[in-house]
Amino acid sequence: MPIPPQHPTDQRRHSTPPDQHHRLSPLPTPSRKVALGRHQQTTARPSLIVTGPAAAGKPTALLNVGRTCHLAHTRKNPPPPGSAHSTAPVTYVLVPPGATAKTLITEFARYLGIPVAARMTQTQITDTVSHTYTQAGVQLVLIDEIHRLNPRTTTGAQAADLLKDLTERLAATFVYAGINVTDTPLFSGPRGAQLAGRATLITCGPLPARHGTREPFRDVITDIENALDLTHHKPGVLLRHAAYLHQRTAGRIGSLTRLIRQAAITAIHDGTERITKAALEAVQLDHLAEQHNRPTRNR
């Protein structure tokens, strides 16, 4: 959540550490398309899959969905004065490489701090997770790196069955994110067909500089700049460099947020408290962005 600007007369920096800009997450989210699956009782609930190429901003979109849900829940259900939050409306799980059903359900347990003993079976962990998630009031389950799941293998099929089981047992909407999932085995076979039949696909890709009368890339830059917490940075500076930023990142949201985040952290550490084009040029981006940018920069 963006930190409010520092008052000019307040010389104390926010208590947030200098690398707070790791939380910049401006991408418009598909949260309005998330089905209210918690009201469906009899079968696996509808889900959403956010997909696209690397550095397209999928984790950003996923986390923004979670943030929107969490804030909406907090506004509607504020805790009583003096009490701690007793609910956890959103959970985030990363699919481990070579995931088995047991390693995957263990990740669900780890997120809410559910203790898992080595002697516990997958069924026991699943029962504990289902009970705890229900008691905690989980409404949204975010699952990242879903492309790692391969239903064609025995272990991958079991992990896919586990997810289907959880969608039936938990009164929550599941939102997945993965790289180019339509090019992976995720939708193959009967289990893949089940997932494809219940999931709405949202494709993230590089943002164009202009789309009809709109300028979506400039809108994202504005959102990022509004979230910056730099004492001497003047709003609109980054917007003036929109063409450069689009060329530098090829319109990829992941590359854009990394570029501005690193420049912001550097500005805090060196005391300048502002982002200039020279500061942006000094940042070495991911290899994908640098490869795209190299022909122009070498001319």
Query: Has residue 25 got a pLDDT over 60?
Result: no
Query: DSSP per residue over 157-225, as a string?
Result: HHHHHHHHHHHHHSSSEEEEEEESGGGSGGG-HHHHHHHHHHEEEEE--PPPS-BTTB-HHHHHHHHHH
Cα dist from 299 to 30, 190, 284, 293, whole Å: 39, 52, 18, 11
What's the CA gap between 245 and 283, in Å, rounded?
Answer: 12
Does 35 score more than 80 pLDDT?
no
Instruction: State mean pLDDT over 248-271.
Output: 90
Q: Is residue 11 very low, low, confident or very high in pLDDT (cuts 50, 70, 90)?
A: very low
- Calculate the CA 138 to chain-centre distance: 17
- Give the pLDDT confidence score for residue 299 in this predicted structure: 42
Average pLDDT over residues 219-223: 89
Beta bridge partners, 93, equal 143
pLDDT score recorded for residue 244 = 93
Asked whether the whole model's pTM tops 0.75, one would answer no
- Using pLDDT thresholds of 50, 70 and 90, give the confidence band for residue 46: confident
Question: Residue 51, SS3?
Answer: strand
Position with higher pLDDT, 52 vs 271: 271
* C-alpha R_g of the chain: 21
User: What is the average pLDDT value for the chain, to the nearest integer?
Assistant: 80
* pLDDT per position as a tens digit, 85-130: 567 899 999 999 999 999 999 999 999 999 999 999 999 999 999 9
Q: Which residue has the tokens 């790791």?
A: 22
> What whole-number distance in Å separates Cα of residue 90 and Cα of residue 133?
10
